[in-house]
Each structure stands twice: as structure tokens, then as C-alpha cells.
A and B are shown apart, each in its own frame.
Chain A
């Protein structure tokens, strides 16, 4: 595909994007100038091309492109110019300005508008000027990038003019790099080529790297400079890759934090091994699904707020389930952690099967509200809104929980009961109530996690299974009874997992991490931030 055609297509695309394009003259005016192409010798045609270009109309590049390709024909009868397409023995004529069909006509009635090299250059510079100097910055940017990819020597004069006029810095840089790529492909002097490589290196990015790789094996100074520039760009890209991995890691860490933080309450603060914790997450996710279904059915207009409405619903569902479990089962088993583990495992089986009976075994779809879909780029890092919101949500939940524990009456009582049950009871704290509320809080937070996870994971009865081992790992790694430990643990494990992934693969990375935690626990059996003193023995 020639450079011209590319530019022409680009300009057409730009029209599609920008229907209310500023630079349009009326059809009759444009048609008369197009008709001028069909008469006279090369000199007149060249003038007609200049006239056309002078209109600045966005349809001109396409017309000139057809001219360059020899697809424009003049009708002998009246000199009108058409876009002709061969259809059997005849030509199908189309009006180049309006795109209207002008019917079939025998070959003898039309004459092709001939172009020579001089005219081709004129066309090229006119088209280049029109797209590269278009008033729309998106068109200019796209045009410059197209030149850069095609590395067409013929585009250099147009680029030079555009560079002189360009005011937007990064488009100008792209244009300079485009000129450099074109120069490199030409037979310009070595000094010019070296300058070109420097210009491309300044641009950075994967395109530039891809282009430079074509010259790294070249001989002499050019090859040397290309190799150096490519290495520099590669190392910069690697930095961005590290940044991207860190982002993925933070994202995974926030998911782990959400899943584990409720466990940090029930396991860390109360010492209860709740194997049904994952099922609390699942209940939260199904609560979200139910709320969303109700909204879809009754108030479709509220769909964008469905997640916000689901938050309290999920919290309450899971918290009530948690309180029910605590009152009916766990309270009989305090001080017997291994039995608690088994009983809550039984509860988890029952909950899974119950959800399967009610909602079916298949995955349920929970929709993304509009403000959570899509993504944006930060440098070379792609950031999806879902993940960003989940990170913020996880941090918000963490801080809220911290505030509850440190700043409220309930939090004070929770800590008192944890540290010394008898003494707490003696000063008048109703320990059974505090137990129930603490467990409800931990479970409710798991429900909140379910709302977030419903956005990125399959909502199925097995949702919780996938998180239970990871959550325990986070809590144990971070140190039991310490919320900050859970935060650090979750983020560390998340980032470590994603940093390992490119080298070891997803599964092997996870295995390595699991084994690392097992070994870590040997070294520090009480986790990263261990409680010290008497509380440990309690």
C-alpha cells in the first residue's frame, strides 16, 4: 500500500471520527475544481491539484489518491471527472465528490487522466500537506505515525513543511521521527542517518524499537548507533514492564487483602479458624448478583448504582450468616481450634451446596457498571478502572476496619475480650455478644469482598474455595492478630506473585510462593509481625 493511499485512508477514517469536520467547502465548488483536473496539459493539471489542495477539504486526499492511482477519468462529452471502476467491458462511474453513482458507460466515452512523475510528486505533497497539516491534531498524529510505519521517502518534503508548522510537541516529535525513518530508508548521507537514529531513539516506544531492529545488524556507524539506541529503548521499556507488573501485583494484592482482611478479624483477633470464610465471600457475590437482578428487573435506570446498593446487602447477608454460625456452632468450640476448623469446613460444604441448589451450579453473570469498565494508560502501563476501583475499595475497607477496631466502643470491647476474656467479663462486657458481633464483622467484610470479586471473578458456588488457602497464607504470613501485617502480607504476596510470573509462569510462580511461605513459617512461626508477650500464649 502506497504512502499516499495510507494517508488518504487515514483522512477518511478521520472524517468518520469527526463528522463535523471544519475544513469543508460546498460540493459544487469542490466539483468544479475536480472537473478542472480533466482538461489541459500536465501544467494545467498541476495547477488544478494545487487549487484542490488549497480548499483544505478533507475529501481532497482521497480524490487525489485516486488520481495518482490512475482511477480518475474525464467524460469526453462534457469533461466531467469521475471515479471509474472497471465493470466487464464498461466502466462504472462514481462522482468523486458526492460518491453518487453515475451509471455504466462504454470504455470509449471516457478518457483516463494521465499523470507523470512530476504530477505524482505534486499529489504526494498536496495529500501530505492536507493530512499532516490538517487542523485536527488527531489526523496529524495518525498521519505522522502512518508515515513512520511506511518509511516512505516521498513523504520527506511534506514532513518538512509540517514540522515547520507543527505546534504540538509530541506530534512534532513523531513527525521528526517519521522523517528520520524515511531518511534512513533513503540513500541520504551517513551523518543524516545518524541524526535520524538519534531522533527515533528520542521517541522511544515499541514502534521505534521495532524500526531500529531493522538497522541493528547494519554495518558501520549507523548500525552501531542503532544498536545503542535499541538497547537504551529496551531498558526503558523493561522499566515500564516492571511498572506494569507492579501494578498487576498491587491489583492482586488488593484482592488478597479484601479476601483475607475478614479472616484477619475472625482468625487473627478471635483465634477462630473459619474454613467457611471463602463461602462468606461467595455469599457476598451472590448477594450482589441478586441485587443486580432485582435492579435490572424493577429499576433498570439504577443499574450504574447497583454495586453501591449491593454493598450493604452483601455485608448484611454475610454478617447475619456469620452470626448465625457463631451462635449455633462456633461458640461451643472456643479453645478447640482444630475442631472449629472441621466444623466450619462442614458449614462451608453445606453453604456451597445450598447456593448450588438455589442458584444452580453454573456461573452467574454480574455486570460491570459503566464507571467501572474501560481502561486508561499511564505511560506504557495499562490500567483498567475495575482494578483501580478494587484497590481503592480494599484500602477503604482496611482503613474503615482499622478505625472500627481502634476508635469505637465495639472495637475496644473486641480487643478487651481477645486479650483477657475473664477480665473483660468481670468489668461488665457482654462477651458472648462481642463474640457474635466480632464474627459478624469479619464475615460481613468477607461479604464486601464478594461484591468486589464479583467484578473480576466467576460468580459460582466454588468462588470461595479459590480464596481460602490464599487468605490463610496472607494472614499467617503477615502475622496473626495484626491488621497491618495483613496489609503488608497481602501486598507482598500479590506483588511477589506477579513479579515471579514472567519468569516462572503463573502456576509455577504460585507454587514457588506457597513453598516460600511454608519455609518462611518455619523461620518465623508467628508471621511477619508477631505479637509479643503474653498475648501469644492466650
Chain B
């Protein structure tokens, strides 16, 4: 029943996206594993992993869009939830190494042996069990977001103030995770993973499975996000985005709606991080860098905020551009990224999707909607 509810919530464009993602989940691994290398349709393992990484970024962008595009909360700290999910996954993968580490300690990860720790800290307990680790992937970012949101929304911290304190949050976590005493590997983070759920992590088969998992998880996230924004709750969220005070005066408990979508979004970001880590093979504190979180926001802006397809397109497009530029013209990339921020905010307030809608489909949504949202946010601030 829930499934049919979720599926029914998709519009035509949504169904196309989900179908595409499912097709990707099947075809790309097939192109890697089944198609011979000489064939034009062969997908190399490098390309497969790269695309898998883009898909996790897309899920992160989707989670940012859910709060920013639909509820007007500009989070400059979503990278923190992404990284926390990643660390939870990383801890599981570290425990899976077992005695194959450099110091061959059956329980302690290498960095703890190196730091002369005698036993596992309490917060590392249980991470040898996959179900517990996967639960933590959702629970840790979720609980943090819940606490943070509960405090902030209740005391009506809005607009740029909220943006700045989300940035402070991820900055504080960045500093914390850099410390060796925290027990998360400090500067180097967690790496040298061996296997996941018993499968060697470097094997093409495992990598293909991880890619499929990313694509399917993105599809699931898309369906859930779509169900949320198309439900009555979603309408209230949009009302909050466009006129928070008015919505409150009508009688909605604004902070509860915000808290729900904020926590949901954080969990999605956490899951994205958890899928990201086994594919890139490392998680370190740089994921908490405020700059990384702002970059995720620009993916959404480029794709088109307030649409569900936009963040997916934006995340993939910008990251493809990043990969290409840093390979060919590394010094130009920051110029390009900086210009992207400026150009998109000045000339493309509705991103690629908005551009496509006006130019190709020719049925522009009322452009005022977005502008007014910004103005209202300004008023609230």
C-alpha cells in the first residue's frame, strides 16, 4: 500500500526519472561486467565508480533541495550529515578489516594501535555488525539534525542566521574530527577498507553492486521526496517557504513541519555519505569543510531549486565539469565554479530546469514565485 502511495505520488516526469535510474542500476553494471572491453558500450570500472560517486552527490543535492527548494531553509552544513553517514559506514568497514591491518590487531583499527589505545572506545562498539552500522548511518545524522532543528526552529532562528549557524556546526565538527583524541582517525580519517558484507571492496562485482545500490537508493530518495512535496504536507512546506509568518498565523505549527523535513533531509544526506565512502575508499574530516557544503548548494541552484529533477541534473553536471576541468585545466576550475555561483544566482534563479522549461517546453512557471520566496526570506531575516 505504501508502495502504491509512493508510486502514485510521482508525476510523469518523476516516473521517467525513476525508470531511468532503475535502468541505470541495471545497464551500467552490465556494461561493466558483461560487455567485452573492446565494445563501444563497455563501461570501465573507473567510469562506473565515478558515476556511482556522482549518484551519491545527487542524493545529497536532493536532500539539500528538499529543505532549501521546498522549505526555504538554506543549509550550509549538509556536508556534515553526509560526512557523519560516511563515518558510520567507514567505521563498519574499518571493523571488517579485522586482523588484516598493518598491525594485525584483531579488534583495534590501525590508527588506534598507532596511538597506543588499549581498547575500543564505547562509540565504536557494535560497528562490526552490518545492521547496527547501517542503522547508525541513518540515526546519527538524523538525531543530530533533530536536536539542532528542534532547538533552532523552536526559537525561530531563520534565514541567514540559520545558514550561518549550520555553517558553524559543520565547522565545529570539522575541527572535532581533525583531533586524534576523538577516535576517528584524525587528519587521515578512515581508509584501507578491505571488504563490505563479506565481498572484497575492490572487486568489479562489488563495485558494480555499489553502483546499483547508489542508483536504487537515489531512486528511492526521489520517490520519497516526491511523495513528501506532493502531499498536503508538501504544500504547507511551500507555504512556509513563501510566507512563514502567514502560515504560522493561519494555525500551522511551522516548526514541526520544518523539523520533519529537516530531519528527513539529514537522513537522506547520511545515506548518501554511506554509499559514497565504500566507492571512493576513504572518509576524512575534509568532508566537513564548510566549502564542501556550499558546493552542494550550488549543485541544487545550477540544476534548479524547487524542482526534484534539478538537483540530480545539477549535481551530475557540476561534478562532471569538476572532474573534466581538474583533469584538463586545474587552475581554471575555481574560476569556473566561482562564475557558476555568480551567473546562476544573477541570471538563472531557476537553474537548468527552469531554463529548459521556458525555452523548450514553453510553459514557464510564474517566475514571481521564486523571487517572492527570496524576498520573504529576506523579510524574515
Q: Which residues of A are in contact with B by a Cβ distance under 8 Å?
A: 271, 273, 329, 332-333, 335-343, 345-350, 352-354, 356-357, 465, 469, 472-473, 476, 507-508, 510-511, 514-515, 517-519, 521-523, 525, 537
Contact = CB atoms under 8 A, between A and B. Distances in A.
B375 A273 contact: no
A496 to B, nearest CB: 15
B374 interface: yes
B122 interface: no
Interface-central residue, A340, A341, A523, by most chain B CB under 10 Å = A341
Given A517-B168, A522-B155, A342 B161 contact: no
Interface stretch (B247-255, B309-317, B333-341): B333-341
Given A349-B341, A350-B335, A342 B294 contact: yes
B115 interface: no
A99 B339 CA distance: 75
Interface string B138-169: 00000000001001101111011101110111
A335 B375 contact: yes
B293 to A, nearest CB: 11
Given A333-B346, A335-B378, A525-B156, A511 B175 contact: yes
A514 B172 contact: yes
Given A329-B346, A347-B341, 6 more contacts: A332-B346, A333-B346, A338-B160, A346-B338, A507-B176, A508-B179
A343 B334 CA distance: 14
Contacts of B349: 339
A350 to B, nearest CB: 4
Given A335-B375, A472-B164, A346 B172 contact: no
A348 B339 CA distance: 10
Given A348-B338, A349-B341, A350-B339, A337 B168 contact: no
Contacts of B374: 335-336, 338-339
Given A338-B74, A338-B159, A511 B176 contact: yes
Contacts of B161: 476, 521, 525
Contacts of A522: 151-152, 154-155, 157
Contacts of B346: 329, 332-333, 343
Nearest to B173: A511
B20 interface: no
B178 interface: yes
A10 B94 CA distance: 61
Contacts of A514: 168-169, 171-172, 175
A537 to B, nearest CB: 7
Interface-central residue, A271, A336, A352, by most chain B CB under 10 Å = A336
Given A338-B74, A346-B342, A350-B339, A511 B164 contact: no
B74 A341 contact: yes
A525 B152 CA distance: 9
A352 B334 CA distance: 8
B331 A357 contact: yes
B301 interface: yes
A354 B338 CA distance: 11
Contacts of A349: 334-335, 337-338, 341
B155 A507 contact: no
A342 B297 contact: yes
Nearest to A513: B172
B86 interface: no
B175 A353 contact: no
9 closest Cβ pairs, A-B complex? A346-B341, A349-B338, A350-B338, A336-B374, A353-B334, A514-B172, A343-B345, A346-B338, A346-B342
Contacts of A346: 298, 337-342, 345
B80 to A, nearest CB: 12
B369 interface: no
Contacts of A273: 160, 163
B381 interface: yes
B305 to A, nearest CB: 10
Contacts of A343: 341-342, 345-346
A495 B377 CA distance: 34
A96 to B, nearest CB: 57
Given A333-B346, A345-B341, A469-B168, A523 B155 contact: yes
B334 A507 contact: no
Nearest to B379: A537
A521 B154 CA distance: 12
A511 B285 CA distance: 14
B165 A521 contact: yes
B290 interface: yes
Nearest to B156: A525
A99 B50 CA distance: 79
Interface string B333-364: 01101111110111001000000000000000
Nearest to B150: A522
Nearest to B341: A346
Contacts of A472: 164, 167-168
B77 to A, nearest CB: 10
B169 A518 contact: yes
A340 B164 CA distance: 13
Contact of A476 (B74, B164, B169, B301): B164
Contacts of A507: 175-176, 178-179
Contacts of B155: 521-523, 525
Contacts of A508: 176, 179
Contacts of A518: 148, 165, 168-169, 172
Contacts of A511: 172, 175-176
A339 B345 contact: yes
A236 B302 CA distance: 61
Nearest to A333: B345
A352 B167 CA distance: 20
B159 to A, nearest CB: 6
A337 B334 contact: no
A246 B356 CA distance: 59
B163 A341 contact: yes
Given A507-B179, A525-B156, A342 B341 contact: yes
B378 A469 contact: no
B179 A521 contact: no
B373 to A, nearest CB: 9
Contact of A342 (B148, B151, B178, B301): B301
A198 B40 CA distance: 93
B328 to A, nearest CB: 16
Contact of B167 (A333, A337, A465, A469): A469
A235 B242 CA distance: 60
Nearest to B294: A345
A7 to B, nearest CB: 48
Contacts of B159: 337-338
A271 B381 contact: yes
Nearest to B153: A522
11 contacts: A337-B159, A339-B374, A342-B341, A343-B341, A346-B298, A353-B335, A469-B171, A472-B164, A507-B179, A514-B168, A525-B161
